[in-house]
Structure 1
C-alpha cells in the first residue's frame, strides 16, 4: 500500500525535523520538506501531497500567499496551519482559505497527530468519493457508448431487415458497416446458392460515396479461413514505429441455420489503433442481422418466383380453381373460376364460398365434404350449358381446393356415342331376330348330325348373348333418356332387406356371408323402385361374383343432412388403382388373372351410374387389391321442410 505523503513547510529546521522524524515517519507517513513558500508551492503543485503542514511566517511567500496560489491553481489539498504569532483574525482568515486545523506554537503532539489523522481521513473520503465519481462517470460514458451503438444497430438492423431486394440489401449492409467502423474498404462475399462458389457481391472503397454491387469470384485467404471455420478473424500488419499508420483487416462470418453463407470484410489502412473489441462486437451483431436479412431476401425472391409461376398457371389454365381457408372463405380464385361463377375476384376475397356461388349441387358438395373433411368428386352442370367435373379436396393447414374441369365436350361425345350405340342396337335387333328364327328352323329342314347340332347350339347362344347385350344397351338408353323413371317415395331399407332375402340362396351356394347393417328409421328418398332394385342387385351380383368362397358381402346405409348413402362392401379380389377411374364406363372390364374367369359385358356398373345420376345422386368406389371393394351411392332425401342455406 502506498504511504500517504505529507508536505512540511517551515523556516525552522528544528520544527521540520521534529515533525518528520518524531511524529510523521514513525507513524507510517512519508514526508516532503520545504523551508520557504515558493519551494512549498512548487512541491505542492508537482508532487500533490495528501496533506500540508504549513507555517504562516516564511520567507518569499507566507502561508496565506501559498494557500491563495493553491486555490487559484485549483488544488484542494488539506492544510494544517501552524504559527508562532496567532490571533483571532489569523484563525478566521486561515479557515476562510480552507485550512482544516490551526495550531499556535508550541503545539501539543497528541493534538497535532489527531489533526493529521482527521485531515487525512477527510482526504481519504474525498479521494474515494472522487474515484467513485470518476468510475461512475466512466461507466456512464461506457453505457452511453453502448446505447449509441445499440441505437445505431437498431436503426441499421431495421433498415436492413426491411429490404427484400437482395442487391439493394447487400449494398445497404456494406454502407452500414462503413458507417460503424469507419474502415476505408468494406466488402461483402456471398456463397452462390446454385454453384456454391464464393462471390464478391458488394463493395465500398475509400472515395466512394456509396456502395455498389459486384459479381466477382473471391480468392482471399482471410475470407476462405472465415468461411471454413465460421469464426471471426482479425489480421494486422506489423509497423516499425508506433506513429506509423496501421493496416488491419476484420472479417466476420454471415451465419444461417445451414452454416456460413458469406463474409463481411473490413479493411483499414490509416488507423493508429487496431479494430477494438467494441468494433468486433458491433460488426458481429450486424453480421447476424445481415445473415437473417439475406436469408429473408432469398426466401422472398424464391416465393415471388414460385408465385409468378403459380399466377401464370392459374391465369393460363381453363380449369376452375378456388382455394378457401378451413372455414370456407375464399383465399384465391383464378380467372376461369371468376368467369364460370360470374363474379369479380377482387370483390369476393375473404367471403364464404357458399355466398359467392349459387349452384345448388356445388352447395351440397361443399357443405357435405367440409363436414366430413374428405375429398369428393361430382359432375356439375352450369346455367350456361357447360358441365364441369368438380373435385373438392382438403389442403392441410390451408383449407380447401375446389378444382373443376370442363367436360362438356366429353359429355357431348358420350351422348353421340350413346346415340350411335342406341341406333346400332335398334337396327341390329331385327336381323338378330331373323337369325334366331332361322337357326330354330334348321332342325325342321332336315336332321342335323351331332357336330351340326353343336354348331347350331353355339350359334343360338351367341345370338341370345347379343340380344341380352342389345337389351342392356337399350335399357341404358332408356335410363339416360328418363323413359320409365316415374318417381315416388321409397324406403330404401325395405328394398335392401327384400333383395338380401332373395339372394341368400345364391350367397349360400358360394359359401359367402351376406348381411345388412341398417340404422332404424331411415328417411324416405324419392326414386323409382324398379331402377333402385336394379342398382342394388347389380352391385350385389358384382360383389358376390368377385368374392371367393368364405368371404363376406355387407350392405350398410348412413343418413346425412340432405342425403342417404348406401354402401356395398365385399372382401373380394379388389380393383387396381389404374382401373378405378374407368370402372363405370360402358363396356369397361378390369383385365387381370383375378377377373379373367368371370364373364360380363361391362354394362352393369354403367347402368348403376346412369340410374343413380338420374336420381340426383353420385356413385363411387374405394378398393384395395386383395382386400376387397366398397361401392357406395347417394340418394337425396325427400325434404319435408326447406333445407337450411
Structure 2
C-alpha cells in the first residue's frame, strides 16, 4: 500500500468493519485507487453517513490532523457541506465543484474548492463519497486584490472625472483625497510641498483629508523628520513603517509619492496607514501612482487656469484703468472688443456694442478718416488722426490705429479736449505774457531815452516814477511765473503754524490801497476785534489776499466798494472778498483756477492780466489744507471765499 493511504488495521473497529464489507468493491475500483494514491490533490474518502473514512497525506497536511484523528470524524467538524451535498447524494454519481470554508485543526479558516463524487457498486448502490479539496487561498487573495484594485480605479476615475468637470477644481482636490483614503484604507491623505527657498526647508500642506477619528493628527510634524531624505532623492518614493505616533494613533506608516512638475516647489502625495505596514502589492502601488498622476494633472490644470485667470485679470485691470477708449476691430469693420472707462465721453458697455460694425456707431466719413487710406482692405500701417469731433459729442478726440495682424487692429481714441484748451490757453498766455513783458520794456526804453535827453527836475522825477512802476510790473509778472513753477513742482514749502489772520488781511489791504485810490474804490475790512487764529503761512496768505483784493479792485467800477469779511464755520475760518464788478459767466467759473485761463468778458474788456494769479491762489490754499469757492452774477459782482483751518 502507498504511504499516502491509511492502513485499514489502524482504523477504529467500527470504521474498519464498514470498510471490510466494501473492501472487494474498493480494490476492484483500480482507477479510484490509483487516483487516491498518486494525486497531488487533497483527497478525502467519506462514508455515506458523512464521516471521514480516510484521507491521503496531502489532505492530512492541509488540515493538520493525523490519520487516527481524521478517521470517523464528522465532515461537519471540518466543513459545512450544506444542502448542496445532500442534493449530490440524491442525484447519483455525477460530480460537482463548489467553494467552502475549511476549518483546520488549529482553528484557521481557509477557502477551498471541493469536488465530490459518489462511488457506487456494480448494482448501482452508493458505497462512499470521494472528495477532492483544493486550497484556493492564493486565488482568493488575488481575486480580492483584483476586486480591490478595480474598486480603487473605479473610485479614483469617478472622483477625478468629477474633479475635471468641476468649475472649481481646487475645491474638489480634498474630495479626491477623501475617496483615495477611503478606498486605500488610509486614515490621512495629503498633498504637500517642500519649500526650498528658505534657510531650513519647510513643509507646507496644500490639501488634506483625514478620518474623523484622526482630526488631531499633526501632518506637518509627521512629515518633517523625512524632509532631508526627500530632498536628497526628490524623485524617489519614500516608505516608512512603525513610526511612533500620537495618543490617538500609537503607530503608523507613511508613504510619499512625488508629484512631478505641478507645485511651485517639490510636491508629494502623502499617505498615512494606521495598520503600520504598507504591505502593498505592485498592483496596489500602481493604483496609488495612477491617482498621484491624475492629481498632478489636476494641480497642473489649476496652475494653468490660475495663470490664465491672473493674466486675464491683469490685462483687464490694465485695460479698465486705461483712460482712453479701446476698440478692437477686424478688416470688415466689425467691433470685436470695446473697452473704456465709465467716465469717458464715448462710454458704451461692451455688451451693447460688441459684434456691431463701427460705421453703425459713428459716421462713415469719420470711420474712414480713423482707418486711413493705407488700411482700407487690410491693416498694414499705424495711423494717427488728431483733432476730430463726433456729431453727438462736444469733445475733441484723437485716434491711433495699431495693426495686430492684417485682419485685426487696435484703435485708441483719446479725449484731447482739455489738451486743446490748454494749448489754446498757453498760446493766449504767451501772447499776453509777451504783451505784458513787451509793454513795460517799450516804456522803459522810451523813458530811458527821455531821461538821457534831459528835462526839468519835475519831468525827470515823473520819468523815474513811471520807469520804476513799469519795472515793478514786469518783476511781479516774472515772480508769479516763478511761484507757479515752484508750486507745481513741489519745491515751494509752506509753513503750517498757528497765526492771527487779521494782521495778514490788514497788510494785504494796505498793499492794494494805492491801486484802489486811483479808482476811488473803498476797501472795507469786516473782522472781529479779537485775534482770529488759523493754521497757515503768513507770507503765502498775504500773496493770496493781495491777489484776490487786487482782482476785486481791478474788475470793480470807479467809486465802488470791495469788502473783506471774516466769518466762522465748524473748525474753519471763512474769509470772503466781495466786489461790485462785472461778474463771471457760469460756464467760466469751473475753469477760473486753471493755469493761464481768463474769462471771455475780461479779455473783451481788455483788462490786463496773466491768467496765473488764481492758479497760484488755489494752489496755496489747498497746500495749507483749505479750499476756495466762487459765487458770481454777471454785472452784479463776485465773491471769493477762502476757508482755512482754525487753530485750536
TM-score for the superposition, normalised by structure 2: 0.43
